[in-house]
Structure 1
Amino acid sequence: MTERRPVASLWIGEKLHYLNQLCLKSHVIQGHPTTLYCTHDVQNAPEGVEIRPASEIMEIDMALVEDTSASFLSNVFRYKMIRKTGAIWIDCDAFCHRPFPDEMEWVFGGHGLSGNLNCGVVGLPQNCELMDQLLDYYDNLPDYPAWWNKNQRKKYDRLPDTMSHAARIYKAERTAFGPQAFTWFAKQTGDFERALPVDVLYPVPFQLNDIFYDPYGRVEGHFTENTLSVHLYTNGTKPWWEKHEPLPGSYVYRMCEQVGIEPKKALR
């Protein structure tokens, strides 16, 4: 197998769910050197995934994670990781359908039905204006994100000031550190036009995420010859699937068989 571009992600916690195992291993199988930066001693990563301490990239404030979510600081981590290593960021619920082309320097795409960008899979030049503006935003948080309207600001103002500034922004708008920020700054730098079409990285709209578990769903009907990654949207999946094996015939079941993951060994 030809060695391809390195990819990397972050895991905050002690154990991977089978869906995360599936997605990480899919990149290994496609020839991508795959690194998982971890805050804890993760023992159930798939063979071929290199485990590294998250502190190599940045210190993870676990108190802030408690006030927000396990994925919150990944929004900062991904850009600092790209700047330091040059790897492509992959969310732990992004399945590698085809390998990322070596010549594809800018890797990000449109998402869902809204026309905004997502940052679940991101490749950027290590030094570019978009990276600079994103990191400056996280390092020097404004009173309110520049794109917020009056109602969003009021929502922030109603939150208790005993919470940290970052946590209040997150509670007011959960995606203010993720897709909202990425979309805004890509527009400011003129890089929005570099976005790949939705079929490349997010072929199935977020609103239809249950289709991955439906034995009769035609998931592949959303794919095209350009599809590289398939986002499985664990943050929108019904909690039932975290504790139960996928049904035979469903996309997730078939991919687990194809990649060699046993769901029953890594349920919540």
Structure 2
Amino acid sequence: MRAGHPLILYCYDEPAGIPEGVEVRDAATILPRESIIRHRTGSVSLFSNWFRYELQRQGAGIWIDSDIYLLRPITENRSFLFGFEDVGIINTAILRLPPDSSLLKRLLKIFEEDSVPAWLPRRPRLNAWWRLKTQGRTGLSEMPWGVTGPRALTALAAEEGVTHWALPPHIFYPLHYTQADRILDPAFSLADMTASDSVAIHLWNENIKHFKDKPAPPGSFLAQLQAEGA
């Protein structure tokens, strides 16, 4: 909202502390609660990928992960909106896809669990094939982390010939995930971590979750985020 965008929060159970101005919608209007699937680690990121793709199928707007900090409004008026997080890897944290695109249909098809993703490494691919033959499902929850997210989008975007739509890393992902702890260091200002034309910065929640809620060092970007109530 600070960047000028209306914000819709989808949830099954409304959490406390929602900022004023955020529109809350029932997540069951996108996918029923019974659809929730978890990775073997317990993470719901697997379901989160399914949810964002279904959101695109319904033409419900741009998906933005909750650990994205917008620096300015997203003004890119393009059908395929996504960006590289690193060389050769397209991230799904900011995403818009045409509802009728073949790419989106193929991403959603993954969750039917009736075919083995070709981008899996050899051993997990063989395991998925075996589960499909013996259990009737490929077993997404047993596959390596991220198989339905960036790995899937990167592989299928290449097959569909739309990789050229991906924006360079410094637009949405100027802070590499290996540098996520820089937000804790007062020596690194926001300007140090972004480019002049960066639109967003990804905070990599999985990498900062062990310290993000603790009092941050004064002068750090995390201290600024905490002061903003982010």
Mark yes or no: TM-score above 0.5. Answer: yes
Residues 86, 125 of structure 1: 8 Å contact kept: no
Give the letter aligned to residue 27 of structure 2.
Answer: A
Residues 118, 125 of structure 2: 8 Å contact kept: no
Matching residue of 1:215: 186
- Residue 49 of structure 2: which of 75, 82, 85 is its match? 75
Pairing 1:227–2:211 present? no
Question: Distance between the aligned counterparts of 2:140 and 2:201, measured in 1?
Answer: 29
Matching residue of 2:121: 149
Pairing 1:93–2:63 present? no
Matching residue of 2:146: 175
The count of residues paired between Structure 1 and Structure 2 equals: 228
State the SS of the aligned residue for 2:195: coil
Pairing 1:201–2:172 present? yes
> How much does 1:149 deviate?
3.0
> How much does 1:235 deviate?
1.2
Pairing 1:37–2:10 present? yes
- Residue 250 of structure 1: which of 212, 220, 223 is its match? 220
> How much does 1:91 deviate?
0.4
Give the TM-score of the pair, scaled to structure 2: 0.87
Moved over 4 A (4+): 154-159, 161-166
- Residue 53 of structure 1: which of 17, 26, 34 is its match? 26
Give the letter aligned to residue 172 of structure 1.
Answer: M
Question: Distance between the aligned counterparts of 2:134 and 2:66, measured in 1?
Answer: 32
Question: Distance between the aligned counterparts of 2:215 and 2:128, measured in 1?
Answer: 39
Give the letter aligned to residue 147 of structure 1.
Answer: W
Counterparts in 2 of 1:62 and 1:169: CA distance versus 1, 3 Å: closer
Give the letter aligned to residue 29 of structure 2.
Answer: E
Residues 170, 177 of structure 1: 8 Å contact kept: no
Give the letter aligned to residue 38 of structure 2.
Answer: V
Give the TM-score of the pair, scaled to structure 1: 0.76
Identity %: 28
- Unaligned regions of 5+ residues in structure 2, if any? none
**204-213 vs 125-134, greater mean Cα deviation:** 125-134
Give the letter aligned to residue 30 of structure 2.
Answer: I
Deviations 1:64-109 (A, max 9, x none): 3385412221101101112213310000100111100062332101
- Unaligned regions of 5+ residues in structure 1, if any? 1-27, 264-268
> How much does 1:63 deviate?
6.4
Pairing 1:137–2:110 present? yes
